[in-house]
Amino acid sequence: MSTVALPRVPVRLGRFVLRMFRPHVYVTYGVLWVFALEGSATALAGSAWRPTAATAVRAASVVLVLLFLRMLDEQKDLAHDRVHHPDRPLVTGAITASELRGAMTVITVVVAAANAALSPAAVLLVLLPLAYALVLPAVEAASAAVRERPLLDLAVTYPVQVLLGGYVCLSAAGSGTPAAGWRVVPLLALCACVFLHFEFARKTAWESAPDDRLYSSVLGPAGSAAVALALVAGAVGCDVLLFRPSTVVGLLPCLAALLPAVAARRFLTARHGGWPLPPAMGYIVVTYLALVLQAVFPP
């Protein structure tokens, strides 16, 4: 940071965010995820859900934690990016590691301060995923297996998302939102399946290079596609278990499964290229929007 004039740092960080943390993607995902989790937990407790000021704190916190994770990944993957992605901001010098670490420190302070207005427990819950994430670079540096095996790497890194989802549900329950009890577990599983479907979809292709780190390189294209579809089936199963949908609004999360079904047919029929990403992204948006609608207008 010493080589960059301090007044320019916010501009450089802003450019980094716009390129590597596209707001229309990440902010939309983070806000919808929080709304879907909190709203569904409220609906499962037998009440109609309405967002509150505490909801806004949780949504902003989740988005900021996602940005923190993105900044950490940029540093963690620097050696790989120098070889395979030489245009990345950290490689080109458009941003420095010191600037990213400074921004991560600010994010940590802001998130902790915002959640202190909710409860001490909320502060602890929101800091847990950050603490877990900070351990991951050391784990990956120490373990070649974690670095080189995509499925093992996913198993090691995905708990950050579980902790973040737990923060939303538990902090909401602690701030007066009706608690869903044991049903929080299948609710978190539902969201996990939705997210992991996208994760597998974006790393499934018929062709791959050695540095691509695709799941289809390990499982084969058809095997990876099967896992992606199994995750959709898991999400539908969790939705049926939780909500027993009987209305049009209630059926929307299940009907969202048509998007990955169409994408799978296209992918398996083409036998070249990658899994179509727009349907995978649309599946997240439609499912979470449907869960929000179901929470606002319960049957």
Specify if 122 maps to a domain. Answer: yes
- Asked if residue 194 and residue 243 are part of one domain, the reply reads yes
Please state the domain count of the chain: 2
**Beta bridge partner(s), residue 274:** 205
With respect to residue 3, please indicate whether it lies within any of the assigned structural domains. Answer: no
* Greatest C-alpha distance within the chain: 62
Range of the domain at 255: 181-299
Q: Are residues 209 and 120 in the same domain?
A: no
Chosen domain end from 137, 157, 179: 179
Q: Are residues 175 and 271 in the same domain?
A: no
Single out the residue in 158, 179, 200 at which a domain terminates: 179
Question: Are residues 17 and 141 located together in one domain of the fold?
Answer: yes
Shared domain check, 83 and 191: no
Q: Kindly state whether residues 103 and 175 are assigned to the same domain.
A: yes
pTM of the model: 0.93
Inter-residue contact 187 to 41 (CB < 8 Å): yes
Residue 114 CA to residue 119 CA, distance in Å, equals 10
- The pLDDT value given to residue 1: 38
Question: What number of CA atoms fall less than 13 Å from residue 38's CA on the CB side?
Answer: 28
* Residues 58 and 129 both lie in one domain: yes
> Which CATH number characterizes residue 64's domain?
1.10.357.140
Domain boundary among 179, 198, 230: 179
Do the domain assignments include residue 231?
A: yes
Q: Are residues 112 and 137 part of one domain?
A: yes
Asked if 67 and 107 touch (Cβ cutoff 8 Å), the reply is yes
For residues 118 and 174, give the distance between their C-alpha atoms in angstroms, rounded to a whole number. Answer: 8
Q: Are 136 and 163 in contact (CB under 8 A)?
A: no
- Predicted confidence (pLDDT) per residue in 229-266, tens digit: 999 999 999 999 999 887 777 899 999 999 999 999 99
Give the CATH number of the domain where residue 262 resides.
1.20.120
Same structural domain, 29 and 69: yes
Check pLDDT > 80 for residue 6. no
Residue 1 counted as domain residue: no
Q: Please state, rounded to an integer, the average pLDDT across all residues of the chain.
A: 92
Q: What average pLDDT does the segment 112-121 reach?
A: 96
* 124-143 mean pLDDT: 95
Same structural domain for residues 166 and 192? no
pLDDT higher than 90, residue 152 = yes
